[in-house]
Chains A and B, each alone.
Chain A
Amino acid sequence: EAQVTQNPRYLITVTGKKLTVTCSQNMNHEYMSWYRQDPGLGLRQIYYSMNVEVTDKGDVPEGYKVSRKEKRNFPLILESPSPNQTSLYFCASSSEPVGTDTQYFGPGTRLTVL
């Protein structure tokens, strides 16, 4: 089954404790993105990747890091989380650039930073 998986699905942590949210897709897609979704603000792109070792900033990259060492995986790293990073996070992938092709979204990771 074609899918994007994220782990963990739920996470409660404390300020400053480094964490990683994993994302994996099994569709051999070139393009992957991370979004955060906040009430009243909609989905906002954090980072995106066009291929292995090629990443770029989205609209809200501050406080986040990403890496793309393998085509299927695109982890999101919060090196020193803060309460304003409490949000619902989605990973997405597509075979073409996000503006030209269907994106497939993961189920989401709900993060709470205390």
Chain B
Amino acid sequence: EDQVTQSPEALRLQEGESSSLNCSYTVSGLRGLFWYRQDPGKGPEFLFTLYSAGEEKEKERLKATLTKKESFLHITAPKPEDSATYLCAVPGFGNEKLTFGTGTRLTIIP
């Protein structure tokens, strides 16, 4: 059974203080890894898809990286508007489902 574990559960940073969120996974065969952002009271919003170890993608202050066992979401010089819950997910066999982690709740303090 596919498993996704995210850490830490919650992270508080000062504005401008860079850090990383972790997503470790156990799957029978990696078919990709997704990162989503979820704001309070809203549905998740797509950020990145990574398909192979060594792949990196960037968007503004966010950079996602992927190894054979885990993915990191690096946030550089964050701003208060980056506060959200960040979710990662891996596809299941047949690509008809996603297994989500429980998320990291990120708070950026001005």
Q: Does A102 contact B (CB under 8 A)?
A: yes
Q: Once the chains bind, are B45 and A100 in contact (CB under 8 Å)?
A: no
Count residues of chain A with CB under 8 A from any CB of chain B.
Answer: 26
Contact of A105 among B32, B45, B91, B101 (CB under 8 A): B45
Chain B neighbourhood of A4, CB < 8 A: 43
Is A43 part of the binding interface, using a Cβ–Cβ cutoff of 8 Å?
Answer: yes
A70 shortest CB reach to chain B, Å: 21
Min CB gap B36→A, angstroms: 8
Cα A103 to Cα B98 with chains together (Å): 10
Set of chain B residues within 8 Å of A48, measured between Cβ atoms:
96-97
Among B31, B44, B94, point to the contact of A43 (Cβ < 8 A). B44
B78 contacts A by Cβ under 8 Å = no
Q: Determine the chain B residues whose CB is within 8 A of the CB of A97 once the complex forms.
A: 94-96
13 contacts between A and B (CB under 8 A): A4-B43, A41-B102, A45-B97, A48-B97, A97-B94, A99-B31, A100-B32, A100-B95, A103-B98, A105-B44, A107-B42, A108-B42, A108-B43
A41-B102, A99-B31, A108-B42 known; 14 new pairs, CB 8 Å cut-off, are: A42-B4, A42-B103, A45-B98, A90-B43, A97-B94, A98-B91, A99-B91, A99-B92, A100-B91, A102-B46, A105-B43, A105-B44, A106-B43, A108-B41
Q: Which 8 A-B pairs have the closest CB atoms?
A: A99-B91, A99-B95, A105-B43, A97-B95, A43-B100, A42-B102, A102-B46, A42-B100
